[in-house]
Every structure is written in structure tokens, then in C-alpha cells.
Structure 1
Amino acid sequence: MAFFAFAVAAGPALAETPTIRRVPNQVFAQREDKTLKADIYLPPGEGPFPAILMIHGGAWAGGSRSRMASHAMYLANNGYAVAAITYRFAPVHTFPAQLEDCQAALDWLLDHAEEFDIDTERVGGWGYSAGGHLACLIATMEAEEGANPPQLKAVVAGGAPCDFTNEPPQSERLKYFLGGSRAELPSAYVQASPLQHVTAKCPPIFLFHGTDDSVVPMQDAEAMHDKLSSLGIPTVFYKLEGRGHLGTFIDVDARREALKFLDGHLKLGKS
């Protein structure tokens, strides 16, 4: 197995520098027309480590796990093992293909926990935009289905669409992803909406969103936060004033607050 080491901290000229170990191109599933891979980022030190399933955005139709490299490195530098994954894209593959691939990646990560020195009781999800939607959907559907114990213990989701059930019935805006309009496939719009699966068994969820996001308006995320709060689920809604969709993705303050949230739920000795 190939390991690539990255320096993550500056120190005295002759001091040994801690490194992140990157294990790229790990195949976690083979589909008929696509090989699905993950890049693993392992922190310095000895485990077992808390772990994060990291899901990229791209409107469910594009993007790359490499786009999440800076987020993955940030978490690895703070003690997390990270699996940045890929998944099949719409419109060639409509929903629920993306969800199925992310769930397969999570199962694979847990199955390989010993290999990567991962603590299976401290696994979370992190995603942005479409990736944030998929991270929330995995967690809420798992809770709704009564998984015991749930695989994801905490989720961070930024710029995430959370509810498609308010889409105009005849609109074909999401046809490429969900297979048709809401009038044609109402159940798909419900199934794909994290908000519609929220129960009191959901894990803690940190939502962050730019107030000037014109790609994914933040009303759905606010509604998601409100529903989680009403059920007593630990949740944070972190607003970034004046930030748009891209600006929110790269915002260092949001990243830092998200890390605090994860630490509080996934690090041993934290409350």
C-alpha cells in the first residue's frame, strides 16, 4: 500500500515534523461503468482515530474528491482520519445512486477500520453543497430506519439543500438528478430530502450557510436546524454574513467552528 507523507506544522529547523499520511485511490466499490475510490488522510500519532466520511459537492453531477483536500488535511492535522470519496453523477445516474455510493463508502470505511486504525464508535460525516446534502441524508435516513447503533455519530454540512418537497410540481429543474418533476415522482422528492427524515434519533448536526448564497438559499438549512432543535438534537446553525456559496466553502471561521463541534461529539473526554 502506498503512503504519501505531508508536513503539517512548522518547527525548529532540525526538529522532526509531524506528517499526514495520505493513502490515495482506494477502491471501495465497483459499479458497472465506474470504479469508486477514496483518498484516505491519516493524522500524525497513534490511533485509534475518530474518522470522517468527506463528500464533495458539484450539484450531484460533477466535482471531485480532490476539491475536499484542504478540508481533509485540516481535519487530519487535528487528529481525524478522513476518507474523501467519489460517487456516480447525474444525469447518467439519477438518485438514489449517489446516496447508495456514499453509504457503500461508509460501510467500506468501517470494514477497514482496523487497517486505518479507526475507532468505529467515533465516525462522522462532512460535506459541502451536494455533499452536505448527502451527508445529512445518510444520517437522517439511518436514524429514521432505526439503525442501532447509528454509523454516523455527528455531521457537518455546509451550503446544503435539505428539502425538495417545496419544489414547484411541474418544475423540471431537478429532473436531471431526481428523474422527473415533483408531480411525476413525488416520492423521490421526499426520499431525497433530509428534512423529511429527521427524527429524535438523528445524530448531532452542524449546519453552516452564507446569507448571500444564491446557489442554495439557506431557508431549507434553517428549517432543518429548527426541526432538529425542536426534537432536542444537538445542532448549530452557523450563518456567514455576506458570504456566497463559494465564499462559505472556503471560510476559515466556519471550518474552525465545525471542528469545535466535531471535537465535542467525537473526541474522547469531550462532552
Structure 2
Amino acid sequence: MNLRTYLLSCLLCYFVFITYAQIQVPRDTSFTLHGTYLKERKYRPYIRISEPKVDTQIRTKLNLVYDHIGERPLFLDVFYPDGDSSTRYPGVVLIHGGGWQSGDKSQMHSIGKALAAKGYVAVAVEYRLSLEAKYPEAVYDLKAAVRWMRANADKIQLDTKQIASLGTSAGGQLASLLGVTNENPDFEGRSRGNAGQVSDVQAVVNIDGTLVFRHPESSEGAAASNWLDGTYEQNPINWELAAPLNHVSRNSVPIIFLNSSIPRFHAGRDDMIKKLDRYGIYWEIREFPDTPHPFWFFSPWFQPMMDYTVTFLDGIFQ
């Protein structure tokens, strides 16, 4: 990159930052990595915040704009192998948790780096949370991010035929919803950027994300109500439409469930498996005993979780 190009790039980033800073986006900062660590180590003092094992060089592109909602930009971060620029790699869209109202894309960076080191293009996505926008806007954002990935495949060395969605907690619910709504125009939203691209995904990694909101196994409450624009009694349609379990069809994709030992975060899993079996769609379960819900942040569970993830994705894509 020559000096002129570099300076123009810096100037563009500056103007994007200034524009974004002037837009008042409501934030809930209750769900943070450090706060979660302090809470969980009271019960399991042996845990440590995980740092991925990265034995190869990876490339990183942070805070790229993938779409606009009016004046409001939406950002994503990309991690991919540092290799021959002609090589194309499978992609994974990474969706953070936080009860649909908190959390941020940086919480997926460790997973992104670990995947990039194993030959994947990992894209951590910002999406609008419940203080800013109600269901189904987050789904529209994520599908727009997948379309951006395909539109920019040459820049990030992406194989456009191989994209998975991976999410943690609320992000696991969203990742699963992406995987059961391929070719469903009701979940695309209004025409947005990269409309000529498709938003389909080919696999799902669900890390402790609920699959249904109204169910004997489910105990979703205020956080779900905030996102779904009312309680079940006030807005039953959203509660049913947002449940991945209710959309399983022959167009659904292979899925791995990576679960903590807390049953409420597996809500609907067994019923979903029955539906997947009906259509002959592959699935796996890996459950980690004696684990807190946000186990994905911490050693000793991070590395085996990533091993299961990569083995599953390699089996689907290679």
C-alpha cells in the first residue's frame, strides 16, 4: 500500500468513526467478558479467560462497514489465514450472545482467531440489539452480513459455497435461525446492501442457544420479551416465529449442538433432532459436564469446544 492510499484509507476510517460517534445508539453494557469471568470464578476458581492457540499467521480486518440503516453503520471484523491470495476458504459468521440486548462482536474474537488458524474466514458481526431494534431486525442484519461476505469474497478469500453460522447463547439461537430459514423471503427484510447475493448458510454451530421460546423446557423471560416486543401473551406471533424449532424443513442444514450442563439452554433440542431426522439432516451433540452457561469464554473448555467445532465443519465442508 502506497502512502497516498494509506492516507485516504485513514481519512475514510476517520469520517466513518465521526459519523458513527454522532449517532446515539442505546447500549446495555451488562454482559462483558471481564464481568462474566469475575462472576464465574467465584464458583470455579480454576477457570481462565481463554486465549486461542494460533500456530500460523492470520490476517485481521476490524470495523468494516457491511451495511447502513439510514445514517447508522453496521460493522464487522474479519479473521482469515495469511496465505496464498488465490486460495479460498470456508467462512463462518460469528454471532455474540448477551440476551439479545447486550454483548458485542469483540467477544467472538478468540473463536474467530482460532478458526482462522484452522483455515476458515471468520466474521464477527455487530447486529442491532433490543434497546435499538426489536425482532426480526437482528435477523435481517445477520443475513445482510452473509450477503456482504459473498459480495466481498475476493477481498477476504472466501469460498462462497461454504458458509456456516456460529453463535453463543442468544447468538446460538440466531445462528440456528439462519440455518433453518434458507430461501425463506420472510426473513430477508427490506432490500439492503448486496441484494444480489444470497444469505444462505450451509451449516450451524449452536453454542448453548435456545431453539424455542415457549416450551416445557424453556424459561425465557424479560430478555426475550424485550427483544420479541412483548410477552408471549402480548405477542405470541413473534415468540413462535423467532423459534428455530418451528422452521425446520428439508432446506435446513447440518448442525452441531455444543452445550453446557444447564438444561434450560438446550430447550427444544430433542424436538429439533426429531425433525432433523425426519428430513435426514445430519446433527451432533457435544455436552460439557459441570459447566457454566458462558463456558465458551474459558479454559478448560475453550480448546475442546474448538476441536469439536473444527472437526464438525471440516466434515461438512471438506
RMSD: 2.6
Q: Tell me which of 267, 271, 278 is aligned to 1:223.
A: 271
| 2:211 is the alignment partner of 1:162 | yes
Q: Tell me which of 152, 156, 168 is aligned to 1:116.
A: 156
User: Structure 2, unaligned stretches of length 5 or more?
Assistant: 1-5, 10-52, 189-197
Q: Secondary structure at the match of 2:280?
A: coil
2:44 corresponds to? none
1:53 corresponds to? 93
**Counterpart AA for 1:50:** P
Q: 1:60 to 1:34 in 2, by over 3 A?
A: farther
| 2:284 is the alignment partner of 1:236 | yes
| 2:75 is the alignment partner of 1:24 | no
Rounded to whole Å, the distance in 1 between the matches of 2:91 and 2:296 is 23
1:13 corresponds to? none
1:36 corresponds to? 74
1:200 corresponds to? 250
Partners of 1:240 and 1:248 within 8 A in 2: no
Name the count of aligned residue pairs: 252
Partners of 2:182 and 2:251 within 8 A in 1: no
**Counterpart AA for 1:256:** D
- Alignment map for 1:25-104 (pairs within 5 Å): 25-32=63-70, 34-46=72-84, 47-104=87-144
Partners of 1:125 and 1:154 within 8 A in 2: yes
Identity, in percent, stands at 27
Q: Secondary structure at the match of 2:251?
A: coil
Q: 1:180 to 1:37 in 2, by over 3 A?
A: same
| 2:8 is the alignment partner of 1:8 | no
Partners of 2:79 and 2:112 within 8 A in 1: yes
**Counterpart AA for 2:112:** A
Q: 1:32 to 1:229 in 2, by over 3 A?
A: same
Q: 1:24 to 1:212 in 2, by over 3 A?
A: same
Q: Quote the offset at 1:143 in angstroms.
A: 5.4
2:31 corresponds to? none
| 2:315 is the alignment partner of 1:264 | yes
Q: Quote the offset at 1:244 in angstroms.
A: 1.8
Q: Which runs of 4+ in 1 moved over 4 A?
A: 143-147
Partners of 1:143 and 1:199 within 8 A in 2: no
Partners of 1:55 and 1:65 within 8 A in 2: yes
Q: Tell me which of 229, 235, 239 is aligned to 1:179.
A: 229
Rounded to whole Å, the distance in 1 between the matches of 2:229 and 2:280 is 35
Q: Quote the offset at 1:249 in angstroms.
A: 4.8
User: Structure 1, unaligned stretches of length 5 or more?
Assistant: 10-17
Q: Quote the offset at 1:144 in angstroms.
A: 5.5
Partners of 1:128 and 1:249 within 8 A in 2: no
Partners of 1:125 and 1:135 within 8 A in 2: yes
Partners of 1:160 and 1:221 within 8 A in 2: no
Whichever structure has more helix as a proportion of its residues is: 2
Q: 1:227 to 1:243 in 2, by over 3 A?
A: farther
Q: 1:220 to 1:40 in 2, by over 3 A?
A: same
Q: Quote the offset at 1:212 in angstroms.
A: 2.9
Rounded to whole Å, the distance in 1 between the matches of 2:175 and 2:246 is 14
Range 239-248 or range 105-114, more displaced: 239-248
Rounded to whole Å, the distance in 2 between the matches of 1:183 and 1:94 is 17
| 2:151 is the alignment partner of 1:151 | no
Rounded to whole Å, the distance in 1 between the matches of 2:223 and 2:103 is 19
2:180 corresponds to? 140
